[in-house]
Homo-oligomer: A and B are copies of this chain.
Amino acid sequence: MPTAERGSTAPRATLTDVAALAGVTPGTASKAINGRGRLRPETRERVRAAAEQLNFQPSAIAQSLLSGRSWTVGLITTDSIGRFGMPVLLGAEDALGAGEISVLLCDTRGDAIRERHHLRALTARGVDGIIVAGRRTDPRPPLPGPISVPVVYALGPSTDPEDSSVVSDDAHGVRLAVQHLADSGRTRIAHVTGPEHHAAATARAAHTRSELAEFGLQLAAGRVHHGEWSESWGRQATDIVLRADPDCDAFFCGNDQIARGVADALRESGHLVPQDIAVVGYDNWDVMALASRPPLTTVDTNLLEVGRVAALRLMDAIDGNPHHGVEPVPCRLVIRDSTGPRAPVR
């Protein structure tokens, strides 16, 4: 017979049980276990032994009722937690877990009704705070109604500047990419990115323009190329750009899928990457960046860190020190084989 009989439905021991076993009152047992009050060391030890014997665990629910804090936060994701929401979630869970705070997960599927429903459920459960993780970097309206607990927006900022938001620093990411390309001698850099109605696309495009200007450079083909966030758009755009500007020597792409499409199209049309043309992606999505031929140099958006920082800001707010405004988290450039020195002009 194994010592640990699993699946047993043994009712959990309460403090009263422990106290009875140790021959004291519940109040005294509480003090013994929590190291408060004035107790003989011997008594303290007796209670501890009893607690151990009964495998006592204090009821967090009862503690919450009394303390008014649930040591729980809600994490609302505005759209099915996908590639972007997930690292944010993990980062937040990590930071909160270290503070012994548990995460209640709510997925709204982008539905406002569901969002309100989850919001009610969370406040009913007495969460100490809420993190709202967007699926994209587009700003979103704040949670509706008066919320009685602190809220931090992660990845997609709130449109209300009074709210606390934590986002990945697009300007920084773009700067890293463009500097890297310029440093490796590229002068005709194209920018291929996602749809114009995505903040991530337009913001990065704007930063690309201004950063190129810093180096006295202009966009290859004269303009930003907007399309889908897909490999197929990357392949398509490659043709368009090379036809418009055959001397183009680098592609900076709005995400890794587009970059991979570009790399494929270049290879298949006989251009050498990076000797002839360099390619830089965005997001550092390993499954794209590593599978690409060649593997992609790309901007890591540090989403884990975004989640972690959001959690820290929330804990600050819970402790009475709310933050306001949008806090950008720096990016990181991951250099792989799709960039490198330009080959000597043939």
User: A residues within 8 Å of B by Cβ?
Assistant: 4-12, 57-62, 64-65, 70, 72, 75, 80-82, 86, 89-90, 93-94, 97, 100, 102-107, 118, 120-126, 142-148, 160, 162-163, 230-232, 257, 287-288, 291
Contacts and interface: CB of A to CB of B under 8 A. Distances in A.
Nearest to A122: B102
A148 B10 CA distance: 6
B90 A81 contact: yes
A61 B125 contact: yes
A291 B235 CA distance: 11
26 contacts: A4-B146, A6-B145, A6-B146, A6-B160, A8-B146, A9-B148, A12-B123, A57-B124, A59-B65, A59-B124, A61-B65, A61-B125, A81-B89, A93-B106, A93-B107, A94-B107, A97-B118, A100-B121, A102-B104, A102-B105, A102-B125, A103-B104, A104-B104, A230-B291, A257-B291, A287-B288
A80 B94 CA distance: 11
A291 B231 contact: yes
A291 B253 CA distance: 17
Given A75-B105, A81-B90, A104-B102, A62 B65 contact: yes
A108 to B, nearest CB: 10
A96 to B, nearest CB: 10
A341 to B, nearest CB: 25
Nearest to A101: B121
Given A102-B106, A104-B102, A107-B90, A57 B123 contact: yes
Number of copies: 2
A80 B90 contact: yes
Contacts of A59: 65, 124, 126
Contacts of A9: 148
Given A7-B147, A61-B126, 15 more contacts: A4-B145, A5-B146, A6-B145, A8-B146, A11-B148, A59-B124, A61-B125, A72-B125, A93-B105, A94-B107, A100-B121, A102-B104, A102-B125, A232-B291, A257-B291
B232 A124 contact: no
Contacts of A105: 75, 89, 93, 102-105
A84 B76 CA distance: 21
Contacts of A118: 97
A6 B147 contact: yes
A12 B10 CA distance: 35
A319 to B, nearest CB: 13
